[in-house]
């Protein structure tokens, strides 16, 4: 029997917290570089693409606008509702499917996708065995040599965020409860909120080290695994939204991301990892 996703996590998504996440702050960088990497690695056009755990559909609709045949699946009913609403931004387009679904069981035939985006499930499925079920489901769905794009959150994301906002937006480093939570996730990747802490961020999750992500994807049978720090250290830049409005500054930020994203000695500073792999 598949284990359920943490109720607090699902409740948060069903309150709509994901809406426009990729349209501000560090989401701008994540979205921009992930799009570039996807374009560089898609096998053909038009491709059949499954966006599994695709949230409110930002990537799905963008890929559809490029002429690909895209199906979107997400476990949150609210995310799927918001994805349907996004159709108003793309009046002449449609997705092949927009469905509430668990990433571990997608109703599509074997060898039917040219590419799969798995840009959320691996950090909300907290047990290794369950993550392997997701990855093997993706393998089932992909055509031979199909491409899997997989996102993960880095092990150091919470503590780095707390450090950079300490004394400005929070005093979490003063809390024993918060520090105990962080010490646990740094040790084994298990991010478990302490209800006695003022920390109100992400619910129960698993945070990867770059080598762990590579090993998990390889263990599931994929080849040519390529791990990137898709944001790099650029999320530390103050006032990203304002910087992004100036084309020269935006391009400078992206140059830094591209320059550092494969450097293993700094990869953990990125809040998000992105893996590219082939079936």
pTM to 2 decimal places: 0.95
Q: According to the model, what pLDDT value does residue 82 have? A: 94
Q: According to the model, what pLDDT value does residue 230 have? A: 97
Q: Which CATH number fits domain 7-154+208-278: 3.40.50.150, 3.10.580.10, 1.20.1260.10, 3.40.47.10?
A: 3.40.50.150
Instruction: Give tens-digit pLDDT for 114-147.
Output: 999 999 999 999 999 999 999 999 999 999 999 9
- Domain range summary for the chain, segments of one domain joined by +: 7-154+208-278, 156-205
Q: According to the model, what pLDDT value does residue 8 have? A: 74
Q: According to the model, what pLDDT value does residue 204 have? A: 92
Q: Which residues of the chain have pLDDT under 50?
A: none
Q: According to the model, what pLDDT value does residue 277 have? A: 98
Q: According to the model, what pLDDT value does residue 9 have? A: 75
Longest Cα–Cα distance in the chain: 53
């Amino acid at each position: 029997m598949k284990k359920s996703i943490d109720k607090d996590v699902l409740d948060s998504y069903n309150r709509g917290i994901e809406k426009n996440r990729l349209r501000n702050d560090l989401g701008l960088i994540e979205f921009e570089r992930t799009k570039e990497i996807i374009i560089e690695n898609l096998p053909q056009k038009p491709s059949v693409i499954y966006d599994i755990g695709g949230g409110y559909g930002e990537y799905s609709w963008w890929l559809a606008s490029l002429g690909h045949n895209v199906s979107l699946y997400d476990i949150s009913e609210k995310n799927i509702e918001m994805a349907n609403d996004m159709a108003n931004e793309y009046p002449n387009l449609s997705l092949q499917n927009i469905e509430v679904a668990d990433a571990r069981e997608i109703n599509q035939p074997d060898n039917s996708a040219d590419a799969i985006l798995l840009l959320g499930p691996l950090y909300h499925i907290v047990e290794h065995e369950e993550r392997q079920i997701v990855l093997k489901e993706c393998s089932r769905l992909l055509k031979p040599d199909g491409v899997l794009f997989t996102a993960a959150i880095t092990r150091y994301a919470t503590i780095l965020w707390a450090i950079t906002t300490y004394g400005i937006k929070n005093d979490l480093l003063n809390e024993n409860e918060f520090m105990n939570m962080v010490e646990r996730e740094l040790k084994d990747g298990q991010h478990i909120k302490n209800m006695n802490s003022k920390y109100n961020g992400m619910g129960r999750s698993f945070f990867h080290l770059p080598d762990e992500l590579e090993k998990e994807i390889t263990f599931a049978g994929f080849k040519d695994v390529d791990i990137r720090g898709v944001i790099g250290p650029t999320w530390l830049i103050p006032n990203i939204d304002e910087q992004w409005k100036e084309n020269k500054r935006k391009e400078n930020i992206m140059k830094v991301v591209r320059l550092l994203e494969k450097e293993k000695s700094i990869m953990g500073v990125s809040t998000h990892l992105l893996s590219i792999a082939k079936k």
